[in-house]
Amino acid sequence: MALPYELALGWRYTRAGRASRRNGFISFISGVSMLGIALGVAALIIVLSVMNGFQKEVRDRMLSVVSHIEVYGPGGGPLPDPARTLAEVRAHPQVVGAAPFVAAQSLLARGEDMRGAIVRGIDPAQEPQVTDLAAASQSVLRELQPGRFGIVLGAELARNLGVRVDDPVTLIMPGGQVTPAGVVPRLKQMTVVGTFDSGHYEYDSGLALLHVADAQRMFRLEGPTGVRLKLKDLHQARRVGAELEERLTGPLVVRDWTRQNRTWFAAVQLEKRMMFIILTLIVAVAAFNLVSTLVMTVTDKRADIAILRTLGASPGSIMGIFVVQGAAVGVIGTLAGLLLGLGVALNIDVIVPTLERALGASFLPRDIYLISRMPSDPQPADIVPVAVISLVLAFVATLYPSWRASRVNPAEALRYE
């Protein structure tokens, strides 16, 4: 029997349903299976797109403060030769910007309030080359003049200390000063010359910026403790870091942004995998509904199968007819799910505000969550596996009922017809 005949019969059985109530019920079950596959595929695409969107949003805010790669001196001390290190890193084709910095942990005090902070000494002229935050806050960073001991605080840190621009704060540095009276802490009064808001709470509540010359003087360093780099492609940071580690002169330490936030990114990837597995089960349940649909179709079409067999149809042809029927349901359901999922994922910035206005609720309150809008970032690397898995599950679900159809005995099937 020619393959087009199998396709025609399989498609006819898929959309049959008007001849009798029993056929109508089978067609209804087939439609439910199709709808279940479509909703499962759409749910997978929407959830994975939203998770990608959140990950991208947090990553971008994080990288507005954190550079793609940081090169440190040995043992956390100053770089042996900052000028040579800067020249060597800038020679790499992936590096588009480099700036020296000093990093240290300290305490900031204002009256009775005291907060721990990461103090970063920067060069205001070069820092915009390596972070988006510095590029957007150049007017504030210009206030950091060497010798004036000005400080720029994260917005949350300034709020916790209760300080504003031009207010004094006391910087308490690690490593006390030895005096005849004993070891006393080293203190320096600084003037708040500005604040920044990166949108990332961890940095807004625990980062302070100084001029690199003031930082070196206060922490008694002979030079910067490292160099911050910006790359053309942030996803190449691990590879570029490994190459720089081999090329740079001296015992230097190279860290890329993926290693600095390894725990967070590992948790996001694990959560994404688990959501993929859980939602794939929804598609699997819908796909295996095809088993009951095809079993009922085979039972209903036993006489038709017997007639086809007596006309010379082979068991393989009979099996092909019902495989086509189940595969048609899987293909249509998967395509419908792809269209629905992509339609929602690409327009979620319109759909969610509309639902919020209709329900009078806010899904992501600005005062609670880091991100106040629902982001979405559909990725082909997620969409293609979803479609392939859905089609494979639908095809696998057709094998057993189709095999049963090919085993129908014509004489037994026609005995009571």
Q: Which of 54-58, 95-99, 361-365 has the lowest mean pLDDT?
A: 361-365
Mean pLDDT score, 234-252: 85
Q: Which residue has the tokens 């081999």?
A: 246
- What's the confidence (pLDDT) of residue 17? 46
> Between these two residues, 307 and 342, which has the higher pLDDT value?
342
**Across all residues in the chain, what is the average pLDDT?**
80
For the chain, the farthest-separated pair of C-alpha atoms sits apart, in whole angstroms, at 114
Q: Give residue 416's pLDDT.
A: 56
pLDDT digits (tens, 9 = 90+) for 10-26: 566 565 544 444 455 55
SS3 content of the chain, % helix, strand, coil (to 5): 60, 20, 25
Cβ(212)–Cβ(122) below 8 Å: yes
* 8-22, 23-37, 230-244, 359-373: least confidently modelled range: 8-22
Count of CB atoms situated within 10 Å of the CB of 183: 10
Question: CA–CA separation, 118 vs 121, rounded Å?
Answer: 10
3-state secondary structure of 188: strand
What is the spatial distance between Cα 307 and Cα 324, in angstroms, rounded to a whole number? 19
User: What pLDDT is attached to residue 335?
Assistant: 92
Query: What does the alpha-carbon distance between residue 189 and residue 218 come to, in Å, rounded to a whole number?
Result: 11
> pLDDT confidence of 132, banded at 50, 70, 90?
confident
Q: Which of 382, 376, 375, 385 is nearest to 49 (CA)?
A: 376
Query: Measured between alpha carbons, how far is 213 from 343 in angstroms, rounded to an integer?
Result: 53
Q: Are strands 113-122 and 207-211 parallel, antiparallel or unpaired?
A: parallel
% of the chain exceeding 90 in pLDDT: 4
The pLDDT confidence band at residue 1, using thresholds 50, 70 and 90, is: very low
Strand partners, 70: 228, 255
Residue 41: φ, ψ to 5°: -65, -45
Sign of CA dihedral 121, 127, 132, 136: positive
Instruction: Please report which confidence band the pLDDT of residue 400 belongs to, taking 50, 70 and 90 as the band edges.
Output: confident
* 339 pLDDT more than 90: yes
Confidence bin at 155 (pLDDT 50/70/90): confident
Least confident of 74-78, 353-357, 394-398, 406-410: 406-410
**Alpha-helical regions (H) of 149-232:** 155-161, 201-204, 212-218
